[in-house]
Amino acid sequence: MQNQETIGKILLTEDQIRQRAHELGQQISEDYKGESVILLGTLKGSVVWMADIMKAITLDTAIDFIAASSYGSSRTSSGVVKVTKDVSMNLYDQNVIIIEDIVDTGNTLKFLKDYLSDRNPKSVRICTLLDKPSRRIADVTPDYVGFTVDDLFIIGYGLDFDQRYRNLPYISYLEG
Ligand code: IMP
Ligand code: MG
**pTM confidence score:** 0.95
Using 50, 70 and 90 to split pLDDT, how confident is the model at 146? very high
Q: State the burial class of residue 61 (Cβ atoms within 10 Å of its Cβ: 0-12, 13-18, 19+).
A: middle
Specify the DSSP element, H or E, that contains 67.
strand 60-70
Predicted confidence band at 3 (pLDDT cuts at 50, 70, 90)?
low
Spatial separation of the C-alpha atoms in residues 24 and 165, rounded to whole Å: 25
pLDDT tens for 43-63 read 999 999 999 999 999 999 999
Q: Is 101 in the pocket of ligand 1 (CB under 6 A)?
A: yes
Contact 77, 104 (CB under 8 A): yes
User: 64 an active-site residue?
Assistant: no
User: In this structure, which amino acid lies at residue 15?
Assistant: D
Residue 144's Cα: distance from chain center in Å?
Answer: 10
Q: Is the pLDDT of residue 81 over 60?
A: yes
Active-site pick, 64, 93, 101, 104: 104
